[in-house]
Amino acid sequence: MGISLELIAGLVIAVYLLPDLLFHHLQCGAWHGSDSGRRVALTFDDGPGPATMDILAELDRLAVKATFFVVLDQALRHPDWMQRIVAGGHEVGLHGDRHQSSYLQTPWQTARRLMQAARTLAVVTGQPVRWYRPPWGHHNLGTWWACRRLGLRRVLWTVAPNDWKPRQRPEGIARHVTRASLPGGIVVLHDGGGDRTATLGALAPLVDGLRAGRLEPGRVSDLEEERSGFKWMWKWWETRFSLYWAIDRIPSPEGNPPILRIGRIRYHGPRLPLGGATLKPGDPFAEIHFDNSVLAQFSGTGGQSVVAYRAVGRALHDLIAFLDREPKYRGVKAVGGITILDAHQAVDRLGFVRIPVTGLKRWFLWAYLVLLMAMYHREGWRNLRRMRHLRPVLLVADVGGLRRRFTARGRPSPADKASG
């Protein structure tokens, strides 16, 4: 009796497709960084290669430590390069014995090769292997089983600027990383497998951009582990949202954590008189997004309203300066965003007007914003009793009015304080 096509298809799904969906695309059970700190992991795949020494020298110049996921056959060819990685204070993870997809191996081949490679790499580096990232992130059942058996933590990524593509430019790689990185994020770059000139050139602006956003690059082990799967999935979504809508982080010259992010869109609210002009649907508009991990630091603390108000005031000053110097936002008439916070007096003092949100959109946004507060507020779902009475509103302010309202120190002017 021959093997039916249905049986073959079922085996392929169970052995390859389903594990890859769960462990690669959904990253179930993988190691994730927490947003409780202000760190981002820089990781390098496919090496060591001809560019590794130059990348190590640049990382040393920038005072950055990183994690290198090495291919074993490359590591065995270049033990001196491996010694340089370890001696520089960087950490080594395994990227397989060869750079080959697990789709091209049976599960028992994958498990056998992975277990042997981990043991051999530990001898090369003189350290036990803690981290594993499969080539292309591909998994089969053998990948999962071997990692469980060896105690390896699977590490994938949250930010992938595709620096390996031939036509990538350093500024594009750096812009992608700085725009998409959130606290606890894991960036995948490459030091082997081809020409890495663009990757090398991107390192300095990339690190500068992260630090301008108060994010410090480092090794995977420098991150705290995120144990909430739900919160990690939210960050996964937030990263892709930021990339799709080209959301920019507003840096703070004073070194404060960046509270605000913005993206350029078209205004979709009602006609609104602002600053002697009228804001109309379709006009250029800068949509404000809060960095929830920063705002969470103000929740559940004494005087949180006053501290948050002052921090937002400084951030609005930084936002105006950002709008004035970035060509992308030229012609923007107003800024604003959706909130359910009920600080009416503070909103008025900051120069915003409130527009109630109606219809089904009101309830959708209420649920969305309540979910955010439950995740990031220190009281979590215990805060729901207060949140259920709140309603989403659109806050809008004209750019000229904000520019006049804030002093060089980013605080409301004396006239605004008196009026409050």
Element (H, E) at 98: none
CA distance 213 to 255: 8
Measured in whole angstroms, the distance separating CA 220 from the mean position of its chain's CA atoms is 14
User: In the chain, count of helices (H) and strands (E)?
Assistant: 17, 15
Do residues 95 and 133 lie in contact, with contact meaning Cβ atoms separated by under 8 Å? yes
Do residues 115 and 75 lie in contact, with contact meaning Cβ atoms separated by under 8 Å? no
User: Which is nearest to 374 in space by CA: 230, 216, 261, 194?
Assistant: 230
Q: Is 138 a catalytic residue?
A: no
Element (H, E) at 231: helix 229-244
403 contacts: CB under 8 Å, gap ≥ 6 = 320, 324
Angle of helix 79-87 relative to helix 52-62, nearest 10 degrees?
10
Six-digit token string for 164: 């390996």
Do residues 322 and 291 lie in contact, with contact meaning Cβ atoms separated by under 8 Å? no
Roughly how many angstroms between the first and final C-alpha of the chain, as a whole number? Answer: 86
φ and ψ of 156, to 5 deg: -105, -125
Angle of helix 197-212 relative to helix 170-180, nearest 10 degrees?
40
Q: What is the DSSP letter of 22?
A: I
CA distance 233 to 418: 45
φ and ψ of 94, to 5 deg: -100, 135
Q: Strands 284-290 and 334-339, how do they pair? A: parallel
The single residue of 190, 289, 317, 377 carrying the catalytic annotation is 190
Six-digit token string for 209: 């951009």
Q: Is 20 a catalytic residue?
A: no
The single residue of 20, 24, 32, 45 carrying the catalytic annotation is 45
Question: Catalytic residue numbers?
Answer: 45, 190
